[in-house]
Structure 1
């Protein structure tokens, strides 16, 4: 007899590629979760944003 969990494909850890562990999803271990956190904190990962001018911030160069 199979359970629904047996039919679902296992996802891979984005750090090392091993199957994920329920306690550390989407990672396989605390180590891989910590590696990912360190990459965010060090600035290795970045989310691109708009330039300051596009945000409508005044840089003081405009004449009124």
Structure 2
């Protein structure tokens, strides 16, 4: 398996990376938000949920009788 950062062979100790350096580079990308799943921005989703559940309080699940 090739390292996803530099394409060298991976090392079992750092799998799927080849070294701690590449693992740290990947972690830095995650922490900066460089990896993004395409879709609607979370701000839009939060406001949609607020409108739908505004009268139900914090727990929006239906209550049992």
Q: TM-score, normalised by structure 2?
A: 0.62
Question: By percentage of residues, which structure has more helix?
Answer: 2
Report the counterpart of residue 20 of structure 1 in structure 2.
10
Unmatched segments (≥5 aa) in structure 2: 55-65
Report the counterpart of residue 6 of structure 1 in structure 2.
none
2:41 aligned with 1:57:
no
The alpha carbon displacement at 1:48 in A equals 3.5
Q: TM-score, normalised by structure 1?
A: 0.63
2:24 aligned with 1:34:
yes
Quote the Cα distance in structure 2 between the aligned partners of 1:59 and 1:39: 34
Structure 1 residue ranges (4+ consecutive) displaced by more than 3 angstroms after TM superposition: 48-51
Number of residue pairs matched? 49
What CA deviation, in whole Å up to 9, does each residue of 1:1-39 have, x standing for no partner? Answer: xxxxxxxxxx10000000000000000000000000000
